[in-house]
Amino acid sequence: MWQAAKILLYFELFSKAITENEAINMPDTQANKDQPNKDLPIKDQHSRIITGRQAQKTARLFSYGNLISMIIPFPLGIFWFGASMVVYAMNRHHPNPRVGYYTQQGAYQFYAILGFVVVVATFFGTELVYWLITWGISAAILIPLNVYSLMKINKEQWQDVTVENEDAE
C-alpha cells in the first residue's frame, strides 16, 4: 500500500523537476542570487503575490488526501475525514478561484463516497468481507477521479494572483 503512495509522490516530484528544469535553490549559490525563489511571496506594504506554483500545489492537496485515504483506509482514511474539513475550510475561498474549484470537486467526490459507505455499511455489522467489498468499490470510484483531477491540475496554466492587504491604509 505504501509503495503506491510513494510512487505517486515520486512521479509528481520527478515530472515537476523535468518539466521545469529546476536547479536546487541553495542560499549561497550564484544561480539563486540571479534568480529569486519563485515559491516565496513578494510582499510590500499593500499587497502580496500568490504565485501560480503555490496555487497549483494547494489545489493538489485535497486530491492527494483522497488518494492516500483510499489506498490506506485504516487509519489514514479516518484521519483524512477530519483533516479534509480543515483543508476544505482553508482552501475553498482561496484568492485563486481555480484552487477553490478543485478543492470543491475533491470534496464533493470524497463526501459522496463517505455518504455511500455510511448508508450501506449500516447493515454490515462486523462482517469483514462486506467492509472490504465496500472499500474496493469506493477506491475503484475515487482513485480514477482524483488521478484525472491531478492530471487536469498539472496541465492547467496557473497565474499569479495579487492579494491586497486588508490592513493597508
Q: What was the pLDDT predicted at 166? A: 76
**Amino acid occupying residue 102:** Y
Q: What was the pLDDT predicted at 125? A: 85
Q: What was the pLDDT predicted at 130? A: 93
Burial 136-162 (b: 16+ CB within 10 A, else e): eebbeebeebbeebbeebeeeebeebe
Number of residues assigned to the chain: 169
54, 98 contact by CB (below 8 A): no
CB atoms within 10 A of CB 169: 5
pLDDT in tens, the chain (169 residues): 445 545 455 445 544 443 443 333 334 444 444 555 555 555 566 788 999 999 999 999 999 999 999 999 889 999 999 999 999 999 999 999 999 999 999 999 999 999 999 999 898 888 899 999 999 999 999 999 999 999 999 999 999 999 988 765 5
Tell me the three cell numbers of residue 49: 503575490
Q: What was the pLDDT predicted at 165? A: 82
Q: What was the pLDDT predicted at 137? A: 96
Q: Tell me the C-alpha distance between 166 and 47, whole Å.
A: 9
Q: What was the pLDDT predicted at 24? A: 38
Q: Is the full-model pTM beyond 0.75?
A: no
Q: Tell me the C-alpha distance between 43 and 66, whole Å.
A: 33
**Amino acid occupying residue 77:** G
Q: What was the pLDDT predicted at 147? A: 98
Q: Mapping DSSP to helix (H, G, I), strand (E, B) and coil, where does residue 160 land?
A: coil
Q: What was the pLDDT predicted at 43? A: 55
Residue extents of the structural domains in the chain: 52-162
